[in-house]
Chains A and B, each alone.
Chain A
């Protein structure tokens, strides 16, 4: 049993580009995920919409295992910005679970969102793409 936390859902929505309201729960994303990682991504997004904070924290491993390959996004019939949502969740977990905002500030947020250490912070984020980035 989990208590629905409206404040968390509102926080994630307000503080980031997270938007999964169009998600139809069809499961195409999960079916196409090359990592085959449960609960990515559809169940994870439900956790956020419902504000199930514990469930999100339990999902740290999978959130950071995502390759951001966007296979799911290409197949999504509802055009949900899945990769961007995963990035938002990484930023949220960095802050909420690891307290990294205090330690690294804004740079830390970006740093942690490039799990896998490819090093190019901006390349993961299309709207902040750095010249010469290699995404």
Chain B
């Protein structure tokens, strides 16, 4: 992990035979060339210092042009590559690979964005767009002139994973990891495993029994010698970096377990929304939450009797604790996804027990994606009436019923009957409560977990990197990152297991070399960079009889926060060195006429 050698040299300018850079300007089939005169751009940049080859192409990302670039790199012995095309989000990886295939260091490639940030943004000004493209390409060439051939940091990884939380997600992730031969340590805060699902009966959409599901998983977990399950235990300390974390787990009052792990999977689940007294009649006899109603249904058979009274009529109020926008008085903004299906499922179980029970569903929107639509259809076909209300005029639950009548009354304006205001008598009012984040401050602090505005853990990208967090090696899955039903939780747990295993089974990991480096000769250990780093990547190390700051490369994310705070200008960000940035600015400012 030593990077002393590279610290001394962050300039690529002292090349023995000057630069040999290849520049390729893309038409993007017209996306760029309709607004940017690419031939004029070519003329303006082909004689820039260091440019050995300059061309335009209809599609630089096409196989043919990639092939041509690779040939140019080999033929002309290029030491830098610039492609002016789309956003690096789209094709940076593509062209880095072209460089790699042709024997050029991929970090000596620069992508210049003349599509999203130029042609698309300036469709009303062709001359201006062309002018801007010239400046952007010159900036890219200037940056590439002093680029360094960087190599990814290779770290050895420990073939063991820590799973935090032993609900269905955590247990399934542990099993998945053990099945591919990794060791697993599972930490559960509670005395029992299984979380919410362990306490549930028949689950939608698969109809399996929650308690049985957990018992089955637990049997399989126990049969895996590679899994260590610690209940009544909490993660209290984490140090080290991706691939080799040291974790400390406290079990009970006295026992401390230490382990080296390569990755951490967080599967801490959710809490159910607990409406305060008064919200939709909460506190009145007969007003229950979704989990309370589920437990009530599972506790009996035959006709429904609640607190000694027969149940003839049930009103469900949806989106309680979910989608609470400013109109509804704040709270959670997100949709809890699982509750529409759960309430529909339970209404069908009520119809199984007693088809004569009248059921009214007061909803804002119904979210029954995929096969869950079948639950909704069955519910309607079996007599449930769905009544749609507006967020700004929520139902009012009161208790002023006459003698011998159901004890609750719900007043609601039904949008589907053109705004008719309805009074519905009910024996039970079920508040279809959503999922809320669990309080986990200690864990968030220990793992530096990214927490979103909604209080849930944040992945890097919900579709492209759905179980990874910005902390390398810390993965999330299940309902702790967002509301999910049990099937979805298990699916995301398997995704996290696959992601963790993909890295750890290799035995090593390659980390992006675009990290900060400290020049120990310049550093006088003033201490300002340590608190500037959001990842605690900077440590104090001895250097020639004194102490200096040093960046732990495996921890550094290359954010650059430490660079400007250094009064001695001892810190540089590889790939974005001060020298490169200054050269880029010069390139951008050079007159184009």
Contact surface of A with B, Cβ cutoff 8 Å? 1-4, 6, 9-10, 13, 21-22, 25, 39, 43, 46-47, 49-50, 52, 55
Contacts and interface: CB of A to CB of B under 8 A. Distances in A.
Contacts of A13: 383
Contacts of A50: 385, 387, 414, 417, 420, 422
B423 A47 contact: no
Contacts of B388: 25
A4 B416 contact: no
Nearest 4 interchain pairs by C-beta: A46-B417, A6-B358, A4-B424, A25-B416
Contacts of B387: 50
A10 B414 CA distance: 20
Contacts of A21: 380-381, 383
Q: Is the interface of B mostly helix, strand, loop or mixed?
A: strand
B398 to A, nearest CB: 13
Interface in B357-406: 358, 360, 377, 380-381, 383, 385, 387-388
Contacts of A43: 417-418
Given A6-B313, A21-B380, A1 B422 contact: yes
Contact of A1 (B377, B418, B421): B421
Given A21-B380, A25-B416, A49 B423 contact: no
Given A1-B422, A2-B423, A47 B417 contact: yes
Given A1-B421, A21-B381, 12 more contacts: A1-B422, A2-B420, A3-B425, A4-B422, A4-B423, A6-B313, A13-B383, A43-B417, A46-B420, A47-B417, A49-B385, A50-B414
Contacts, number: 51
B385 A22 contact: no
15 contacts: A1-B422, A2-B421, A2-B423, A4-B422, A4-B425, A9-B358, A9-B385, A25-B416, A43-B417, A46-B414, A47-B417, A50-B385, A50-B422, A52-B420, A52-B422
A1 B388 CA distance: 16
Contacts of B411: 1
A21 B381 CA distance: 6
Nearest to A46: B417
B375 to A, nearest CB: 14
A50 B359 CA distance: 11
